[in-house]
Each structure stands twice: as structure tokens, then as C-alpha cells.
Chains A and B, each alone.
Chain A
Amino acid sequence: MLEQDLINRLLNGDENAYRQVVTDYHSSMLYVARAIIGTAIADEIVQEAWISVIKALPKFEGRSSLKTWILRIVSNNAKSRLRKESKHFSAGDAADLETIGMPHDRFSDDGHWAIPPSRWNIESPEELLTSDELQSCVRQAIDKLPAIQQTILSLRDMDGMSMEDICKILEISESNSRVLLHRARTRVFLAIEKFQGN
């Protein structure tokens, strides 16, 4: 109901409604575009997507959330640009040689911990986020992730989107996206662990 109200306001050209969707969706749109086509022309793709969104909004049927629908438009635009340039989007193979999560040297040959998790001084998310330094450590860890991992982590953990929707938007398999999500989370875990150890 709230979303329908937002859509009606967008259709009527309500400036505040536009401000709301730009504030809530624009950065996710950029994440999706960057993951598919790279940083250089991501902004251009997002601007094209906004035009498509405004044009197609009267025909939006509400079969998905507005956000999922908008992100799929970004994804389709980015992929059709790739096709024009005779390139293909690849999210990477989940079974490639990159470690699935923790670095190999954390474990001995028999699979037991060689370097076990260190003790954390701060263990609750609320406390972790009250430390500005730790918060910027988490943000830096996210910024350093490969674009596709950054996108999945941001949509899943920060925006709370379902894996099903993420897979539809990026057109990647659920098993692949789960591996990428786990890698991303592990890198953030390692950054927090290192910070807590210092």
C-alpha cells in the first residue's frame, strides 16, 4: 500500500517522491551497474535506467517490489550495453581457485584451526558500530571487495533483499551468489578481526 502510494506520487511528478527513490535506490542502482559493466560507465547506465523507469512506470504491474523492478532495468540496460560491445557478463565461477572463505593458512592439513579466531573485545553489532574507527574499517573492507561481491553483500545484508531477487537481478545462480556472499562476509570478518587484534 505504501509502495503504491509512492508510485502514484511518482506518476504525479511529486518531487519528494523522487527524492525518496533517489535516496533509497540510486546507490544500489550504481552497485548493480558497476558489478555488471564496471565503474567507468556505470553512472551513464544508471542515468539511462532512470529514463527507462520514468517511461515504464505507468505500466508497472507490481509483480515484484519497485526496487527489484528498477534494479532489473539497470541490469538489463547494463547487459544490453555489454552485448553491443560484444562482451559478456560473468559473475565468476564459484568453484574457481580463490579461497571460498578463510585463508588456507588458518588451518592445518587435517582441517583443524592452526590460527584460531582471536578473542574480540567488542562482540555486539551495536557496540561495534559505536566505534567510528571500526565503522570506517568495515566500510573500507566493503569498498575493497570486488564489485560483484560488494553488490551482493550490499543488496543482501545491508538492504535485506532476498537471495531469489538478487539472483534474478544479476541473473546468476543461487549457489554462485551464496559463495560470493560468503567470500564478501569473510573479508569483512577478517577486517574486524584484524582491527580487534590491534
Chain B
Amino acid sequence: MLSCKDISHLASDHIDDNLSFFMKMKVKMHLFMCHKCRDFIRQFRTTVNTLKQVKPATEDPQAVDLQVQKLIKIREHIKPDIDRSQ
């Protein structure tokens, strides 16, 4: 029988569907009987789904421009080598 602590350790694997059939059944059995763990798994799932919608910190447009110009210059500089190797 799994404990609530075990459920908290298995939360990610449960949500990511990464448990064996046997373990999946044990988790389901526990969740059927334990409303605190049902709450926990629901909130943990919300956390993961929230993370999926968090956009990575936006790059500063000026920094992006600077990096792009740097790369274009590098490309121009090494283009003859690239052409020779093709």
C-alpha cells in the first residue's frame, strides 16, 4: 500500500504517464481512497500545466538584434570556408 509521501514522490511520473501498469494501479487505488492526495495531484497537475504555458523570459529585442547582426557578420566572415567545404 502506497503512503501519501510515496504519492508525492510519484506525482510527476503519474502525470507524465511514466509508471508501470502495476504502479499505476497502486497509485489509482490510493487516490480513490485519499482525498488529500487527490487534491495534491490536481494542484500538482495545475502547476505542470501552468509551467507549460509560461513563456520563456522574452529576450530584450535590442539584445536579439545585436546577436543577429553578430551572427550575420560571422557568417559573412566564414562563408568562403563553408563554400569550400561544400
A binding-site residues for B, Cβ under 8 Å: 13, 15, 18-19, 22-23, 26-28, 47, 50-51, 54-55, 58-59, 100-102, 106-107, 110-113, 116-117, 119-120, 123-126, 128-129, 135, 138-139, 142, 153-154, 157-160, 178, 181-182, 185-186, 188-189, 192-193
Q: Which residue of B lies closest to A126 (CB)?
A: B53
- Assess the B59–A26 pair: CB atoms within 8 A: yes
SS class, residues of chain A in contact with chain B: helix
- Assess the A107–B5 pair: CB atoms within 8 A: yes
Which residues of chain B are near A160, meaning CB under 8 Å? Answer: 52
Which of chain B's residues 38-74 have a Cβ closer than 8 Å to chain A?
39-40, 42-44, 46-57, 59, 64-65, 67-68, 70-72, 74
Which residues of chain A are near B74, meaning CB under 8 Å? Answer: 50-51, 54
A22-B67 contact in complex given A58-B86, A123-B42, C-beta closer than 8 Å? yes
Which residues of chain A are near B51, meaning CB under 8 Å? Answer: 138, 153, 157-158, 185, 188
| A66 CB to nearest B CB, Å | 15
5 tightest A-B CB contacts, nearest first: A111-B3, A182-B12, A157-B51, A125-B50, A111-B5
- Assess the A158–B5 pair: CB atoms within 8 A: no
Count, chain B residues at interface, CB 8 A: 47
| Cα distance A58–B82 in the bound complex, in angstroms | 8
- Assess the A116–B75 pair: CB atoms within 8 A: no
Show 10 residue pairs from A and B whose CB-CB distance is below 8 angstroms, ordered by the A residue: A19-B68, A26-B67, A27-B57, A51-B74, A58-B82, A112-B5, A123-B46, A139-B54, A154-B56, A158-B56
Which residues of chain A are near B50, meaning CB under 8 Å? Answer: 125, 128-129, 138, 188, 192
- Assess the A50–B9 pair: CB atoms within 8 A: no
| Cα distance A188–B36 in the bound complex, in angstroms | 19
- Assess the A189–B9 pair: CB atoms within 8 A: no
Tell me if B4 counts as interface (CB < 8 A to partner A): yes
Contact with A along B8-38 (1 / 0, CB 8 A): 1101110010100000000000000000110
| B16 CB to nearest A CB, Å | 8
| Cα distance A58–B72 in the bound complex, in angstroms | 15
| Cα distance A178–B13 in the bound complex, in angstroms | 8
| Cα distance A178–B22 in the bound complex, in angstroms | 19
- Assess the A113–B36 pair: CB atoms within 8 A: yes
- Assess the A100–B9 pair: CB atoms within 8 A: yes
Known A26-B59, A54-B71; 17 more pairs at CB < 8 Å: A13-B75, A13-B76, A23-B59, A23-B64, A27-B59, A50-B67, A54-B78, A54-B82, A117-B43, A124-B46, A125-B49, A160-B52, A182-B11, A186-B8, A186-B11, A188-B51, A192-B47
- Assess the B48–A157 pair: CB atoms within 8 A: yes
